[in-house]
Structure 1
Amino acid sequence: MSKPPFGFGPPDPDKRGENDPSEGGQQSGAEAFNQLGQMLSQLGQMLSQAGTSSGPVNYDLAKQIALQTLGSAGNTGESRLGFSGGDDSNAAVRDAAHLAEMWLDPATFLPAGATSTVAWSPRTWVEKTLPTWQRLCDPVAQQISGAWMQALPAEAKEAAGPLLQMMGQMGGMAFGSQLGNALAQLASEMLTSSEIGLPLAPAGTSALLPANIEKFADGLELPNSEILVFLAAREAAHQRLFTHVPWLRQRLLATVEEFAHGITVDTSALESLAGRIDPANPASIEEAMSSGLLEPQTTDEQKAALRRLETLLALVEGWVDVVVAEAVSDRLPGADALRETLRRRRATGGPAEQTFATLVGLELRPRRMRDASNLWKLVGDRHGIEKRDALWSHPDLMPTAEDLDEPIDFADRVGSAGSIDDLDPIAELERTSQSESSKLDEKAKENPQDPEEGESPS
């Protein structure tokens, strides 16, 4: 952080020497006691201001820091993309989305998925996507927080007593601070709600960030209107998948969770870490936890989950790439240049992906997006968009990483699969949706939760 939170900063130079023996001052026992009392008072104020979150991450603090950082950076969400913000921004985004949806209709068998299309400021992005980040970040924080507890000897746990609860709160604040800064950076870069391939926005919501699109447009030498419509088409295509492929949203988020749950921490590093913590300076906890000593160790299970996630992300991004290209290439002169720019932005991993890697522990880079794009294009050319899109009706029909290596063989199998020939895509999607809903209902009955605890938002 550029400035320690809640007043825990360096000493005031104007007051230095008053109680500092090195400057000739003499600190009495009463003065030392008063300083201790002030520190505890500040700590109590800090915990109070940060909210009462008792989980592994203090999301109240994360939101507060993210919004403050965006405000101090002057990122208000105002844009010059032909409108000045507010109602004009929403109108321009809605118009672009309406045009994009009309162009997408002939390019895909999946109908429109967004029930609302809005213009978000970076601050709104933070507020609206935070529930999904909670689901993604909790497993990471729980694993690392658990490592602290497991590493403590039994006698230390007994002696610590109530201090463990305070340490838990301080750990939650440290994670919250780190999350808040990361969200502020992401919010200042994201072009749409689904740019990193995950359904971060509330279901049915299609969102574009005009202020960030303006920064992205600098130097592209393309009309702002073309850029806005192109990005609206990508966002709308993502929403068609997330809305009408009922298993996809859950599968993406669950795979990220699976990766996070497999995190292991070298607890032998905790001894070195403990030496860096100053009990009189709560900010030192954040510094220690970001020092790299608790760098997660990647397991074989995590590597397998990462491969599945990369393949699924590549399939999503490849499908969106093909569908949007078919929808807009003949209508937007700069479409091919924009397509290549966004391909490189996603495949090489821009600042947003790097921030996410630091935040959650994995990179959301669909390295094989071009391979997936070639596969979807081949299947569509050979068998038509209806059969191509019908493959999304069930996860078992989806191409694998091996299929990306041999797209022609996969296309041949699709052509010879009688079950796919006879498939009614919409009916199959509806059946899959009903099946997923039934599974969730059964799970809820088997694992009833305390109403006061609730569930993490998805």
Structure 2
Amino acid sequence: MTSSSGSDEENLRKFLEEVFGGQLPPGALEGMDLTELAKGAGLPSDPAMLQAAAAQMQSLFASGGDEPVNWKLAQDLARQVASGSVTMVPGHALPPTGGSQIGTDGDPSVTPEAQHALDEAATIARLWLQQVVDVDVPAAPLQAWTRGTWVNRTIPRWQKVVEPVAEYMAGAIGDALGKQMEQMQSMPGMEGLGAMGMGDPRAMMRMMGGTMFGMQFGHAIGSLAREQLGTTDLSLPLWDSSAPVLIPANLDDLLADSDLDPSAARIFFAAREIAHVTLFRSAPWLPEHLFTAIEGYARGIELDLSSLEEKMRDVDVSDPIAMSALNPEDMFTFTRSERQERALTELTTTLALIESWVDHVVTHALEGKLPRLDAMRELVRRRRATGGQAEQMLANLVGIELRPRSISEAYDWWQSVLDTEGAAGREKVWAHPDLLPSPEVLSGQPQAPKADAAEQPAEAAADFDADFDEELRRLLDGELPEAPKEDGDGDGDDDGDGDGDEPGPAPAA
């Protein structure tokens, strides 16, 4: 139905009053060409459609808040993405992943069988690791988590990483919007925009930025929950505990596309998670050092404002609904100063040292014991080199690519330390950040290939296969030396219901 011009203006007047909850300043609409405003905002003339649009805008304003990221929205959305459910945030469609859904459908609960298999794998991995490292391997039982549990437990760490970036980006968008708003207010019939409370673009972004970033980060974190195998895949400690963690559903997805022996793979990935936890526990300064470096880098990041302003020219700033649908991934181009490049190099070098140390000790602990160790290491290298959809999305949003550099050089460096100073000397490097080698030191290492487990001839894999099952049977039957005693009942289930979901008392180390 087509309304008259007078009816259009009356409908729009009611719409604006409803959006602003009857709090429009006196005379805010006086002198405004409401018909022109309706056209500029792309608003419908039908009263029912206007009412629905007003409800969407009210929801948007109400959910934004004053924080740079609406973490309640982010966590709720992350849980829904992690479970694979289709969701709609009021007024918004779920952002696209850029590809097919990651992993299998749903968020399967942890079965007693899966927990038992991981318990056995962790016991073996812990025993073999303790034989090659010169620090105590924490005896906390390995916990098996669902994807939703991973989201709930890691959200506090993500807050420290992304909030500084979100706050800066909201201000940059507000500045770009301000230039457009000034131009709009100079147009005939638009002089009243400032009186409506839309004259301060930064205030507008404070209202809507929390929602926009909450959606984007929630989607990225939920997608990561479908990719990560534990809490240390990125060489960052995403959970403040000495207990190692694996997500059985994600591990099953990974192994479904390979011909690896599941029992051997569980031991291998349990060993990697336990090695990470061992390092972060033995070097308590390291987690805070990493997150402080990330936060410092994020606070100094800069946007290409000329590129942002160019992209914002196509955005209708008078339509909050259209603005809330902005996708930061498509809008932001980051620039790095020389200082930022140095900071990023130092950060990624530290990550490379962590990743290569874990690879080094796990390789030495498992070589000669697991079949196809080289294939499992290569699988990790490929995942690390390419990253997943969620990692790429996060890098686009915050401008930080958590991709370690010079890992092969760092691995060679750790081998040289082991050759000259033994395991005790290797582990002493982690006593203080000043003892870590610089990027220049690592880049100066000889690049000649070393003979390690990753370069075993293919025909040797058959020999490992023949002995693996028998050795595993002997270990589980108690015919080999006992693993270190664990505190607790060893089932990794805090609340006793077998699913590993609920938090409980921290296990003793």
Which TM-score band (shorter chain)?
A: 0.7 to 0.9
Identical columns (%): 36
Query: Which residue does 1:391 correspond to in 2?
Result: 429
State how far apart, in whole Å, the 2-side matches of 1:381 and 1:55 are: 52
**How far apart are residue 296 of structure 1 and its match?**
2.0
Residues 76-118 of structure 1: per-residue CA shift (max 9 Å, x gap):
332xxxxx73443333323322221111101111212463521
Q: Tell me which moved more, 301-310 or 114-123.
A: 114-123
**What SS does the corresponding residue of 2:404 show, helix, strand or coil?**
coil
**How far apart are residue 387 of structure 1 and its match?**
0.9
2:106 to 57, 66, 76: 76
**How far apart are residue 288 of structure 1 and its match?**
5.6
State how far apart, in whole Å, the 2-side matches of 1:396 and 1:390 are: 12
* Equivalences for residues 325-336 of structure 1 within 5 A: 325-336=363-374
State how far apart, in whole Å, the 1-side matches of 2:213 and 2:282 are: 35
Greater helix fraction, Structure 1 or Structure 2: 1
Say whether residues 1:137 and 2:162 are aligned partners: yes
**What SS does the corresponding residue of 1:198 show, helix, strand or coil?**
coil
Q: Tell me which moved more, 278-287 or 54-63.
A: 278-287
Q: Tell me which moved more, 363-372 or 140-149.
A: 140-149
Gaps of 5+ in 1: 1-17, 79-83, 410-458
**How far apart are residue 245 of structure 1 and its match?**
0.5
**How far apart are residue 142 of structure 1 and its match?**
1.6
State how far apart, in whole Å, the 1-side matches of 2:306 and 2:363 are: 52
1:58·1:176 contact (CA, 8 Å) conserved in 2? yes
Is the alpha carbon distance of 1:369 and 1:335 closer, same or farther for their aligned partners in structure 2, counting shifts above 3 Å? same
Query: Which residue does 2:289 correspond to in 1?
Result: 251
Residues 134-158 of structure 1: per-residue CA shift (max 9 Å, x gap):
00001111221232455648x9799
Residues 256-281 of structure 1: per-residue CA shift (max 9 Å, x gap):
11221111224445544165035334
* Equivalences for residues 291-330 of structure 1 within 5 A: 291-292=330-331, 294-330=332-368
Query: Which residue does 1:7 correspond to in 2?
Result: none
1:196·1:353 contact (CA, 8 Å) conserved in 2? no
Query: Which residue does 2:57 correspond to in 1?
Result: 43
Residues 150-170 of structure 1: per-residue CA shift (max 9 Å, x gap):
5648x9799757875453020
Q: Which amino acid aligns with 2:80?
A: Q
State how far apart, in whole Å, the 2-side matches of 1:281 and 1:384 are: 63
Query: Which residue does 1:55 correspond to in 2?
Result: 67
**How far apart are residue 354 of structure 1 and its match?**
1.9
Residues 307-346 of structure 1: per-residue CA shift (max 9 Å, x gap):
0011111100100001001111222112221012212321
Q: Which amino acid aligns with 1:130?
A: I
State how far apart, in whole Å, the 2-side matches of 1:99 and 1:53 are: 49
Q: Which amino acid aligns with 1:40?
A: A
Say whether residues 1:261 and 2:299 are aligned partners: yes
**How far apart are residue 34 of structure 1 and its match?**
4.7
Say whether residues 1:105 and 2:130 are aligned partners: yes
Gaps of 5+ in 2: 19-50, 86-100, 183-193, 448-509
State how far apart, in whole Å, the 1-side matches of 2:137 and 2:3 are: 68
Is the alpha carbon distance of 1:126 and 1:383 closer, same or farther for their aligned partners in structure 2, counting shifts above 3 Å? same
Query: Which residue does 2:266 correspond to in 1?
Result: 228
* Equivalences for residues 112-151 of structure 1 within 5 A: 112-113=137-138, 115-149=140-174
State how far apart, in whole Å, the 2-side matches of 1:20 and 1:98 are: 74
State how far apart, in whole Å, the 2-side matches of 1:352 and 1:378 are: 35
State how far apart, in whole Å, the 2-side matches of 1:194 and 1:214 are: 18
**How far apart are residue 65 of structure 1 and its match?**
1.7
Say whether residues 1:184 and 2:222 are aligned partners: yes
**How far apart are residue 46 of structure 1 and its match?**
4.1
Query: Which residue does 2:420 correspond to in 1?
Result: 382
Q: Which amino acid aligns with 1:32?
A: L
Is the alpha carbon distance of 1:268 and 1:221 closer, same or farther for their aligned partners in structure 2, counting shifts above 3 Å? closer
What TM-score, normalized by structure 1, do the two folds share? 0.75
1:77·1:210 contact (CA, 8 Å) conserved in 2? no
What TM-score, normalized by structure 2, do the two folds share? 0.68
Query: Which residue does 2:324 correspond to in 1?
Result: 285
Query: Which residue does 1:426 correspond to in 2?
Result: none
1:340 to 378, 382, 386: 378
Higher relative contact order (CA 8 A, sep 6+): 2
1:211 to 244, 249, 252: 249
2:141·2:244 contact (CA, 8 Å) conserved in 1? yes
Q: State the Cα RMSD in Å.
A: 2.9
Is the alpha carbon distance of 1:98 and 1:47 closer, same or farther for their aligned partners in structure 2, counting shifts above 3 Å? farther
State how far apart, in whole Å, the 2-side matches of 1:164 and 1:309 are: 32
Q: Tell me which moved more, 110-119 or 216-225.
A: 110-119
